[in-house]
Amino acid sequence: MITKTIAKKQNKTQRADRHGDIIVTSDRYAQVDNFFSNLSLSLVDKETKYWEELTIRDDAEYFDRWVFAIMSVHTTWESNVRGYNDAMSDLSWTISKPRLEKMITDARVGINHRRNKGLWQLAQKFRSNPRQFHKKKGETWQECRNRLVGSIYGLGLAKTTYAIALGFPTEAQLCCLDVHLLRFMGHDLKKGHASSQKIYEQMENEWLERCERYDVSPNVAREIYWNKVQNRRNSRYWSYCLER
């Protein structure tokens, strides 16, 4: 077991922020701290090595990761993988709107208009300047992510984070906070997501702080957590499609 311990943070009173999001009462990070304190070193090493191998090698692979993120919006992991595989099987849609519309319809992933617009925008922007999707010199990972939020139609904070993290899974100091992870961290999400960038970053920073203390990549820790939720030994039940 990882032997470092994190002192529990006590917060005995329930409170609401100015956006109306409720912060759950006492010791809200207890289960998060318990998760990190029970991480196995061998599992962390194994997952880190696996995700290091999936780090992008070029802009073409980075484009693929953004496609995957767009396909992941409001759908199941099965549909996400199916939609991604369909998109990657024939990239002619990147130069033809009719082919894009047909691919999205045939993939049966849902929210077709949103994906059509997002994927077309992604293809045009990657073709014109793929470097805009990379972290600039002097930028933090959060600054890079925040700059890119809204640059692709339909991708907010969490999914923009997801795209970057899929490209740099062991390097990026970011965490894709979906509704399940936010609730795990003690955030009662009445709207189904964090109501502001400030709230998102507050919760993200709690995750990053623990990852630093336990010397584990934020995204590796997230994948380990998600595998536990899904009762899976590892993420290859879906991430196999990224193994190219």
Can you give the residue ranges of every domain in the chain?
15-53+172-242, 59-167
Q: Which of 20, 23, 122 is nearest to 73 (CA)?
A: 122
Rounded mean pLDDT of 161-181? 95
pLDDT digits (tens, 9 = 90+) for 98-114: 999 999 999 999 999 99
What confidence tens digit (pLDDT) does each residue in 113-169 have?
999 999 999 999 999 999 999 999 999 999 999 999 999 999 999 999 999 999 999
The answer to whether 55 and 171 have CB atoms below 8 angstroms apart is: yes
pLDDT bin (cut points 50, 70, 90) of residue 13 is: very low
The 10 Å Cβ neighbour count of residue 139 is 13
Laid out side by side, the sheet with 22-23 consists of 15-16, 22-23, 187-188
> What's the pLDDT score for residue 182?
85
* Region of 41 on the Ramachandran plot (φ > 0 left; ψ -120 to 50 alpha; else beta): alpha
Mean predicted confidence (pLDDT) in 40-50:
96
Mean pLDDT of 88-97: 97
What is the average per-residue pLDDT within 47-54? 97
Q: For the domain with range 59-167, which CATH number is right: 1.25.40, 3.40.630, 3.30.1370, 1.10.340?
A: 1.10.340
Of the chain, the percentage scoring pLDDT greater than 90 comes to 76
Structure token pair of residue 165? 């993290």
Across all residues in the chain, what is the average pLDDT?
A: 88
Average pLDDT (59-87) is 96
Please give the average per-residue pLDDT across 162-191, as a whole number.
88
Asked if the model's pLDDT at residue 229 lies above 50, the reply is yes
Which tokens belong to 57?
């090698």
106 Cα distance to chain centroid: 25
Query: Whole-prediction pTM value?
Result: 0.86
Q: Name the percent of the chain lying above pLDDT 70.
A: 86
Question: Please, which pLDDT band fits residue 9 given cuts at 50, 70 and 90?
Answer: very low
The residues that bridge with 188 in the sheet, in sequence order, are: 22
Question: Over 70: is that where the pLDDT of 6 sits?
Answer: no
Token pair recorded at residue 236: 């290859």
